[in-house]
Each structure stands twice: as structure tokens, then as C-alpha cells.
């Protein structure tokens, strides 16, 4: 499935802010001192390890906002897989713009490609099952749309974008409300008929309460594999089932084998390692 790019009107303010953060009060004093203003150069964005590309449009914007004369030829698009040593894009133009924009471009590209690559690893691990990999709201402030887009580029799906998307009754809500039943009663009375309600449960007894109250989805949190399989059987298709807790590429296949609809993973956005990408001189010859 082709994932459409995020609109430039959304990306440009983020890139401008990042560039201003780097340029500070006096601009790039190193590059301006060393590199002649009329010097042109061709360089490549080079994948130094295998992974999935994400954030290339932001990298392009970082260069072009500094100098519109910079041209970019993409060899691999967002969502494409790369191997170590593969050229992602060739960038040509005024050398000052290339060197000044390098870090901002790579910060976006490496971070988002890391998220897409980590997501693809888990998606590949559960291939052949009915389970979808989804992200959470554990995102970098201000970058949520970008990070969730990277999840999709890696083959995953998105959970809530914000608190206004749907009702998710978690353990603290249940504790404050005095139980699942009163929490769901209040949520249903407050929200319109179009708003879905998901309930986090830790035990099969809590799951039974959520099912009696006709929850649209249940978050099966930190359950053992045996309990998880029993929970899926209890639900019997009456609600969407989502598993979370202690998920890795190694544990995901067994969790998916329980029959859950979704596996949600917070670390995909809050702590996935970057994909190592560099701005290099092209190999001679």
C-alpha cells in the first residue's frame, strides 16, 4: 500500500524552527568562514546500515529552505528499504547550504527512518498472523504527526493521535471512578454515539466487566501468553483486542499467535534507535 506524503504546509514550519534553532544569532560561522560563497558541490545521503527510509521530504526541505538552488535527486523514496552503503539521494548545489543544512536534515531523516525501520522489524516478525502493529501517544512533543507517519511507512498502523480521538479508560481512570462499570457509564453519558470506548484490563475478571458493558475495544495489558489466549477466547470477536507490555521483535510472534487484533508498542516512537545515515562525498568512478 502506498502511504501518501504529509503535506508540505505541515512540514515547513517544523523544519524552519529546527533550522533557526541551529543557526542561532549569527548563522553557521564555521561554514561561512571556510567555504567560498560561490562553491558548488555534489554529495549523497548514504545509508550506513540496512533499514527503511522515512523523513526524506524533511531533509529535502532543510536544504532547499537554506538555498533554493540546491537540487535533490531521490534514489529511494520514503517507505523504501535500503541496505548498508546504498545511496538514498544525491544533493547538489551551493556548498554552504549543503553543509549548513546537513545536521538538521539528518536529524529528521535518521530519527524517522529509525522509527520506520524498528516498526518494519516487528511487522515482519508477525507476518502471516492477523495481528497489526500499532503505535501509542508516547511520542516526541511537537513531532507526533511525523513519528506516526514513520510508523505507517514501516508497515504499522496508528493508535490515537490525541486525547480527543476516542475514549481510552486506563487503570488510573478506573481507580478514580471506582471501577470499570462506573467509568464506562460516565464515558458513555459524556460522549456521543460516534466515539469509541476502549478499556484497559489487567485480569480476566476486569475483562468480563468490560464485555458486559459492551466496550468497543479492550487493552489486554501485560498478560501472560496463556492468559492472553484465554482473554481472546472470552472476547470471541465482540470487541477489538489489543495486547501491550514487554513487546519486542522476539516476543511479538508468540503474542500474535494468541489471536489478538493489535499489538501496541510505545518504544517504537519513544526510544527506537536512529538509522545511521550520512551526508558523504560520492564514491569516485
74 catalytic per annotation = no
Task: Give, in degrees to the nearest 5, the angle at Cα 87 between 85 and 90.
Answer: 150
Q: What is the length of the chain? A: 285
Cell 568512478 belongs to 285
- Report the distance separating Cα 1 and Cα 148, nearest Å: 16
DSSP three-state, residue 280: strand
Contact 273/51 with Cβ under 8 angstroms?
no
Spatial separation of the C-alpha atoms in residues 124 and 173, rounded to whole Å: 34
Point out the catalytic residue in the list 48, 138, 186, 196.
Answer: 138
- Pure H helices in 24-94: 29-34, 56-66
Angle ∠(135,205,214) on CA atoms, nearest 5: 65
| Set 200, 209, 242, 261: catalytic member | 200
Selecting among 67, 216, 221, 276, the annotated active-site residue is 221
10 Å Cβ neighbour count for 33? 7
Q: Considering only CA atoms, which of 60, 111, 87 is closest in space to residue 269?
A: 111
Tell me if residue 77 falls in helix, strand or coil. coil
State yes or no: is 170 an active-site residue: yes
Neighbouring CB atoms inside 10 A of 190's CB total 9
Active-site hit among 81, 103, 186, 188: 103
Q: Is 221 a catalytic residue?
A: yes
Cα separation, 195 vs 193, whole angstroms: 6
Q: Which of 130, 170, 238, 246 is catalytic?
A: 170
For residue 282, the 8-state DSSP code is P
Q: Which residues are part of the catalytic machinery?
A: 103, 138, 170, 200, 221
Amino acid at each position: 500500500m502506498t502511504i501518501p506524503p504529509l503535506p508540505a504546509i505541515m512540514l515547513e514550519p517544523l523544519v524552519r524552527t529546527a533550522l533557526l534553532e541551529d543557526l542561532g544569532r549569527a548563522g553557521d560561522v564555521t561554514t561561512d568562514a571556510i567555504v567560498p560563497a560561490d562553491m558548488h558541490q555534489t554529495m549523497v545521503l548514504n545509508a550506513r546500515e540496512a533499514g527503511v527510509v522515512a523523513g526524506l521530504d524533511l531533509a529535502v526541505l532543510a536544504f532547499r529552505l537554506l538555498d533554493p538552488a540546491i537540487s535533490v535527486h531521490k534514489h529511494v523514496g520514503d517507505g523504501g528499504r535500503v541496505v548498508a552503503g546504498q545511496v538514498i539521494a544525491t544533493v547538489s548545489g551551493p556548498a554552504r547550504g549543503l553543509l549548513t543544512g546537513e545536521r538538521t536534515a539528518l536529524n529528521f531523516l535518521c530519527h524517522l527512518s529509525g522509527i520506520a525501520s524498528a516498526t518494519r522489524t516487528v511487522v515482519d516478525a508477525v507476518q502471516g498472523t492477523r495481528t497489526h502493529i500499532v503505535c501509542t501517544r508516547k511520542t516526541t512533543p511537537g513531532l507526533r504527526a511525523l513519528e506516526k507517519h514513520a510508523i505507517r511507512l514501516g508497515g504499522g498502523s496508528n493508535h490515537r493521535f490525541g486525547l480527543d480521538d476516542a475514549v481510552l479508560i486506563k487503570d488510573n481512570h478506573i481507580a478514580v471512578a471506582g471501577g470499570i462499570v462506573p467509568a464506562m457509564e460516565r464515558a458513555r453519558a459524556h460522549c456521543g454515539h460516534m466515539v469509541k470506548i476502549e478499556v484497559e484490563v489487567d485480569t480476566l475478571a476486569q475483562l468480563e466487566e468490560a464485555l458486559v458493558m459492551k466496550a468497543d475495544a479492550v487493552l489486554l495489558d501485560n498478560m501472560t501468553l496463556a492468559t492472553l489466549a484465554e482473554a481472546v477466547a472470552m472476547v470471541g470477536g465482540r470487541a477489538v483486542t489489543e495486547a501491550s507490555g514487554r513487546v519486542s521483535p522476539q516476543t511479538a510472534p508468540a503474542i500474535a499467535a494468541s489471536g489478538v487484533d493489535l499489538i501496541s508498542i510505545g518504544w517504537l516512537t519513544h526510544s527506537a534507535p536512529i538509522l545511521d545515515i550520512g551526508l558523504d562525498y560520492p564514491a569516485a568512478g
